[in-house]
């Protein structure tokens, strides 16, 4: 049973930010006005692959339909810019991604058995007396074994 519906959350999910290209498009627009072409070039540099108009324009159009983005014509070029509500949308999206990243990092952070520093992705493990222990580096593992 639904007791409470948060409409701002529903509205937020009307646009799906489900790819790096979409996320980066938002980040780029958040940094300032962009030509569609400029945006494509930026994405190419970030992704290290060819980005076509078809990667970028449908999302810009979707953003525009939701009034998150507006454009001004500069000759033949359109210059895109976030609206005020677009800025809020980007902020919410980034916060959401930030939480996701923090959550996923949490599961992959362990503490070095010797020095206690946080280790990302369990880089160095050793089996000591039948126990798999995590260390930040081989030096800490050696110190631990030597009882330093």
Output the smallest distance, CB 146 to Zn ion, in A.
Answer: 14
Which of 51, 56, 69, 136 binds Zn ion (CB under 5 A)? It is 136
Q: Is 141 in the site for Zn ion (CB under 5 A)?
A: no
Establish if 94 lies at the interface with Zn ion (CB under 5 A). no
- 125 Cβ contact partners less than 8 Å away, ≥ 6 residues apart: 132, 133, 134, 135
| Interface with Zn ion: number of residues (CB under 5 A) | 5
Joined tokens for residue 29: 């627009």
Other CB atoms within 10 A of residue 39 CB: 23
Cβ 108 to Zn ion, closest distance in Å? Answer: 17
Smallest gap from Cβ 131 to Zn ion, in A, equals 16
Q: Which of 115, 124, 143, 144 binds Zn ion (CB under 5 A)?
A: 115
| Chain position carrying tokens 């290209």 | 21
Q: CA quadruple 25, 71, 55, 34: dihedral positive or negative?
A: negative
Could you say whether residue 43 binds Zn ion (CB under 5 A)? no
Do 117 and 136 touch, CB atoms closer than 8 A?
A: yes
- Binding residues for Zn ion, rule: CB under 5 A, are 112, 114-115, 136, 140
């Amino acid at each position: 049973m639904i007791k409470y519906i948060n409409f701002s959350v529903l509205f937020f999910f009307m646009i799906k930010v489900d790819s790096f290209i979409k996320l980066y498009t938002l980040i780029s627009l958040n940094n300032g006005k962009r030509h569609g072409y400029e945006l494509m070039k930026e994405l190419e540099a970030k992704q290290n692959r060819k980005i076509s108009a078809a990667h970028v324009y449908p999302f810009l159009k979707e953003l525009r339909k939701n009034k998150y983005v507006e454009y001004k014509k500069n000759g033949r070029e359109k210059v895109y810019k976030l609206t005020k509500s677009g800025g809020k949308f980007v902020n919410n999206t980034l916060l959401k991604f930030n939480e996701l990243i923090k959550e996923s990092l949490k599961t992959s952070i362990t503490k070095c058995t010797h020095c206690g520093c946080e280790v990302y992705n369990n880089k160095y493990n050793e089996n000591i007396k039948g126990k798999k222990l995590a260390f930040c580096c081989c030096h800490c593992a050696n110190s631990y074994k030597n009882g330093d």
